[in-house]
Structure 1
Amino acid sequence: MTEIVEITDIASQKSGWEDFVAGNFAGMAQVFVGQPLDTIKVRLQIENTKFKGPMDCLMQTVRKEGFLALYKGMASPLVGIGAVNALLFAAYSRIKSIQATSLDEQLPLHKIAIAGAGAGAVNSVLASPVELLKIKMQAQYGSTKGGGALYKGPLDCAQHLIREFGIRNGLFRGFWATVFREIPAYAGFYSGFEFAKRKLTPEGADPNALPPGKLMIAGSFGGLSYWLCCYPLDVVKSKVQNQQNPPKGAFYILSTLKSIYKNEGAKALTRGITPTS
């Protein structure tokens, strides 16, 4: 969901609660900065004819709904980012420690990827409902005042979905799509982040002691790796979570993937990737 915000947690050597507070504020800052780009990404993913590209989506959204429309859906990730980051980092640290033979061992990149993949799977428990509510709000065109929106906010959206479909098919719709996205996404993020950190570290120095500038470069490489490893699955997840009714069948991820390819072509599986780069 927020592939760069946990950098603070990874680099920090402070106590657990300080990590949580720092990660929460870093995550909130990332949501504020990244939400407009995320809104453009999601709208491009779920609409195959409405927009010509990212700039057209931006201009249409601002012109027809106002600048603040770019921040639709921000409330759920803003509130949930602390818990999501805490769970992600805790799972990642735990899986790394299980694989390590000593406290100071530098794990090889394939074990870093395994830890990231496991953390991503665990993280889906919180990320799935948070992103569902975000996407539902981002997909609404018009305003609640003008009667052009179905949901007044994320709580109203959650109540509607639970009342109509229950918790599993309502609030947790697209859970397995989220799991299948998060596994390669965080395997790519953490291994990419560690790879870049080690390349930027002078010989004999500690990769965890990089200055902020180099840490930002490593984080950017990790973020790029995140999206390159999972983007088609993110498109599938957005489609599934935004559709009016719950997906059918145990293999709905594969059937949705085939449907997108058949009806919209291969390019649809990368639509909206530019704002994430």
Structure 2
Amino acid sequence: MAESIAPPAKNGWQDFVAGSFAGMAQVTIGQPLDTIKVRVQLESSRFKGPMDCLTQTLRNEGFLALYKGMASPLIGIGAVNALLFAAYSRLKSIQIPKNINGQLGLHQIAIAGAGAGAVNSILASPVELLKIRMQAQYGSTKGASAAISNIHYTGPIDCARQLIHEHGIRNGLFRGFWSTVCREIPGYAGFYSGFEFAKRKLAFGGNSDNLPVSRLMLAGAFGGVSYWICCYPFDVIKSQIQNQPDPPKGIFYVLTTIKKLYETEGLRALTRGITPTIIRSLPAAGATFTVYELSMRLFDRLDGRLDSETIK
């Protein structure tokens, strides 16, 4: 049974609100393991592995340290997700076949996801840079412990201000933009095609647009794992570039960073931190897709009621 792929057009505010709710759920659920992931990616000599990183972080900085850098994505996630889902919807709509009852192939879903990822990099790059800079700080901004910590920024606004003052917009706030593009294109191709593949399988031949919450979460989790499998080495590279003290040099800095990391630490360096990342993606991506789709379904019902009242 073919599913409908031509939903009614949404207003921009609906994408923004649904994206905001979905992003908040993603950040709240996934931030602790994301902090562990980033720290393991950046500090191979400091930690023996993810569990050692978790233990040291809790022992030395307390539980709230796992939420360092949360303010930046929490504030920016609404705009980021709105742009992402809006671009994805638009890129899907221009590929709709002439037979409106047909459905897009998974390769077309992947193309739309890749394009949405490229567009999404415009906002995701500075938001994640500020997050990573905050997560990479060890210690406290209060008391004597600050004297032996590597605290440079009091918050994301202070971080942005210092980076722009020292390096300008392009090399400061948008440092690592092209490494973000390199990650987002294959990542979101896998993210959306994986999600759509799982939705269709879990529909058992029915309409995949009306899956219950439990199956939506499973499909979202599958999409999240697909995202990281498709792009994880580029995420390691992006973290390295965005946290280094000086801006990268040359137009091929992504390749030179990969080469340098491989020569100094071997191939395993490109998968460092992948375990907590995969674990994190299961509930985080499941919540993201579920909250977004349920929000849009709610808007559909509200629109339907308003249309009925208008007709009456």
Question: Which amino acid counterpart does residue 37 of structure 2 have in structure 1?
Answer: K
Structure 1 pair 104/86, CA: closer, same or farther in 2 (3 Å)?
Answer: farther
- Partner deviation per Cα, 1:58-91 (whole Å, 9 max, x = no partner): 0101111111111100000000010000000111
Alignment match, 1:7: none
Alignment match, 1:22: 18
Question: Which amino acid counterpart does residue 175 of structure 1 have in structure 2?
Answer: F
Distance in 2 (CA, whole Å) between partners of 1:212 and 1:14 is 23
Instruction: Give the root-mean-square deviation of aligned CA atoms.
Output: 1.5
Structure 1 portions without partners, runs of 5+: 1-9
TM-score by length of 1: 0.93
Distance in 2 (CA, whole Å) between partners of 1:56 and 1:120 is 33
Deviation at 1:26, TM superposition (A): 2.3
Structure 1 pair 271/252, CA: closer, same or farther in 2 (3 Å)?
Answer: same
Alignment match, 1:249: 250
Aligned positions, number: 266
Query: Are 1:71 and 2:72 matched, yes or no?
Result: no
Alignment match, 1:224: 225
Deviation at 1:187, TM superposition (A): 0.1
Deviation at 1:15, TM superposition (A): 4.6
- Partner deviation per Cα, 1:155-212 (whole Å, 9 max, x = no partner): 0000000000000000000000000100000000000011111111122x21111111
Deviation at 1:14, TM superposition (A): 8.9
Distance in 1 (CA, whole Å) between partners of 2:72 and 2:259 is 30
Deviation at 1:22, TM superposition (A): 2.8
Instruction: Tell me which of 104, 128, 131 is aligned to 1:131.
Output: 128
Structure 1 residue matching 2:54: 3-state secondary structure: helix
Matches within 5 A, 1:1-277: 15-16=10-11, 17-102=13-98, 103-145=100-142, 146-147=146-147, 148=149, 149-203=151-205, 205-277=206-278
Question: Which amino acid counterpart does residue 108 of structure 1 have in structure 2?
Answer: G
Distance in 1 (CA, whole Å) between partners of 2:226 and 2:8 is 25
Distance in 1 (CA, whole Å) between partners of 2:261 and 2:233 is 10
Distance in 2 (CA, whole Å) between partners of 1:239 and 1:99 is 36
TM-score by length of 2: 0.82
Structure 2 portions without partners, runs of 5+: 279-312
Question: Which amino acid counterpart does residue 243 of structure 1 have in structure 2?
Answer: Q
